[in-house]
Amino acid sequence: MIYLDNAATTLHKPRAVDEAMRRTMHAAAGYARGGYAAAMRAGETVYACREQAAALFGVQDPARVVFTMNATHALNLAIHALAQPETRVVVSGYEHNAVMRPLALRGIEPVVLDTPLWDGEAMVQRAKQALEDGAELFILNHVSNVFGFVTPFEQIADLLDAAGVSLILDASQSAGIIQIDVRRHPCLAAVCMPGHKGLYGPQGTGILLALDDRITAHPLLAGGTGSRSEEMQQPDFLPDALESGTPNVPGIAGLSAGLAFVRSVGPANILAHEQHLMREFVRALEQEKRIECFSHPGQTGVLSVRVHSAACEAVAETLARQGVAVRAGLHCAPLAHRTAGTEESGTIRFSLSFYSTAHQLEHAAELLCQTVKNL
């Protein structure tokens, strides 16, 4: 199988991820629930992962690395704490339903930075206008899961730093691929990410970098933490305030190994690898005139295409029968498709990882072009 659905989850992981999970399954027990060796081992495993994440993202206090089930869980924690029904929230035109649905649940209709696809300068100008209009909270999709568009995070964050307005960064498609240093921007209240994508960890893991103390004060869940068990109030310190119940210790062990892999290779090298393959892939696809590629020189290893006069789901199914795994449809991000004008048709998405190869992309391009010729 040629796996090109890494924007959903990276299927191929470093061997150390599997080894760490297996080892922890048999060696670690109740995290923060006992003083015996197996419980202490669980605590050491979890703390080691906090340190790995803190080092990668420039977090000075590892306690601010909060483990979640996925990026959706992390985003819900941050939105629950920072976005009230009366809050003037601004979002990009690329947000995932993991942002839009929690806002809708809270009765918030955000201001959308409606700008053309790939036009980062227009987004910066719209952000300036939103600040002038009284914006109180920004939520920004760092990299589009549909188009691989890298939003102008640094420029917008500079504006928010100056204005004293908070930012929740959705790093679902950028963590592990684009370097993020939270020390650069005081506006960063939270950075949310999955473990199972660009960090090469297992599914069922995620991270919230809880940088704003308001998040600590407004937990989404409450329950056992192994600390202050005599009190009926949720602990008011990190990470306990936001981590109720027994965590996924084997998953966190795997995530720690994934983070170590990303740090050893370097996000810049991972991005360069994906971008090089993507450029060659686009060149091969553009030889077939019925294939419309949504490509741009600065995009990451995520490409959406449409085939004229063919349903994207049908093309994806044909590719699947030939051993090419892609995703078709709206990719849980209808707002991004509205931005690009693909809301009615959807797209076929090809997404790469560090384990993708030139040979795989060449073969996938041949199969897609042949599929189109046979329509």
Structural domain includes residue 46: yes
Sign of dihedral through CA atoms 36, 37, 41, 44? positive
Provide the pLDDT for residue 31.
86
Which structure tokens are listed for 317? 């199914």
Q: Which residues of 300-327 are buried (b: 16+ CB within 10 A; e: fewer)?
A: bbbbbbbbeebebeebbebbeeeebbbb
Distant-in-sequence, close-in-space partners of 176: CB < 8 Å, separation ≥ 6: 56, 197, 198, 199, 200, 258, 262, 267, 270
Q: What is the pTM of this model?
A: 0.97
* 285 in the same domain as 193: no
* 300 in the same domain as 226: no
* 306 in the same domain as 163: no
* 302 in the same domain as 255: no
* 134 in the same domain as 281: no
* 215 in the same domain as 139: yes
For 113, the domain range is 15-265
Structural domain includes residue 10: no
* 329 in the same domain as 286: yes
Cα separations (Å) of 93 from 82, 129, 228?
20, 15, 43
* 316 in the same domain as 259: no
Provide the pLDDT for residue 30.
83
Distant-in-sequence, close-in-space partners of 10: CB < 8 Å, separation ≥ 6: 196, 197, 198, 200, 353, 355
Q: Which of 332, 56, 339 is nearest to 209 (CA)?
A: 56
* 208 in the same domain as 69: yes
Give the CATH number, domain containing residue 356.
Answer: 3.90.1150.10
Structural domain includes residue 91: yes
* 127 in the same domain as 59: yes
* 350 in the same domain as 255: no
Helix (H/G/I), strand (E/B), else coil: 206: strand
Give the CATH number, domain containing residue 88.
Answer: 3.40.640.10
Structural domain includes residue 101: yes
Domain's final residue, options 265, 291, 326? 265
Domain's final residue, options 218, 236, 265? 265
Structural domain includes residue 199: yes
Question: Are the CB atoms for 312 and 328 separated by under 8 Å?
Answer: yes
Mean pLDDT, each 10-residue run in order, the chain (375 residues)? 98 98 94 88 96 98 98 98 97 98 98 98 98 98 98 98 98 98 98 98 98 96 89 92 95 98 98 98 96 97 95 97 98 98 97 98 98 90
Distance, in Å, from the CA atom of 374 to the CA atom of 228, rounded to the nearest integer, reads: 66
Overall domain count for the chain: 2
Structural domain includes residue 4: no
Strand 166-170 and strand 137-141: pairing?
parallel
CB atoms under 10 Å from CB of 147, counted, come to: 27
Q: Which residues of 12-46 are buried (b: 16+ CB within 10 A; e: fewer)?
A: ebbebbeebbebbeeebbebbeeeeeebebbbebb
Provide the pLDDT for residue 272.
98
Domain's final residue, options 265, 298, 328? 265
Provide the pLDDT for residue 35.
86
Distant-in-sequence, close-in-space partners of 63: CB < 8 Å, separation ≥ 6: 50, 237, 238, 239
